[in-house]
Amino acid sequence: MLFATAYHVGAQAAPFASDLVALATRTLRASSQEDAATRIAAAKLLTALLGGDAAVVEALAGSLPAVAAAVRDVACMDASAELRAVCETLARALGENA
């Protein structure tokens, strides 16, 4: 739900984008103690934010290396096939090899 909201509010999400990306990245990197659905939602939130309004993407420029590293790691090694697939797609969009 949060990812759909972030996508639809567009530029209005820019002031909160860094916090949302930090939270989503931490959740994505969380150990397998987090359930897969929560981590998939975090990956989708990252996708919505990074695919959103130019003002949001610009606000996230400094976060991109950490996001790309987290996405790449999950895409290569996570136990959840669905989460790996979402992260592989996001990694390709970020120009990373997953």
DSSP letters of 33-93?
A: TS-HHHHHHHHHHHHHHHTS-HHHHHHTGGGHHHHHHHHHHHHHH-S-HHHHHHHHHHHHH
39-95 pLDDT, tens digit each: 999 999 898 888 877 887 888 889 899 999 999 999 998 888 999 999 999 999 888
- pTM given for the model: 0.80
> Which of 83, 95, 16, 94 has the alpha carbon at shortest distance from 44?
83
pLDDT exceeds cutoff 90 at 98? no
9-24 pLDDT, tens digit each: 556 666 778 888 899 9
The structural domains of the chain, with segments of one domain joined by +, span 2-93
Dihedral, CA of residue 10, residue 16, residue 22 and residue 23, to nearest 10: -90
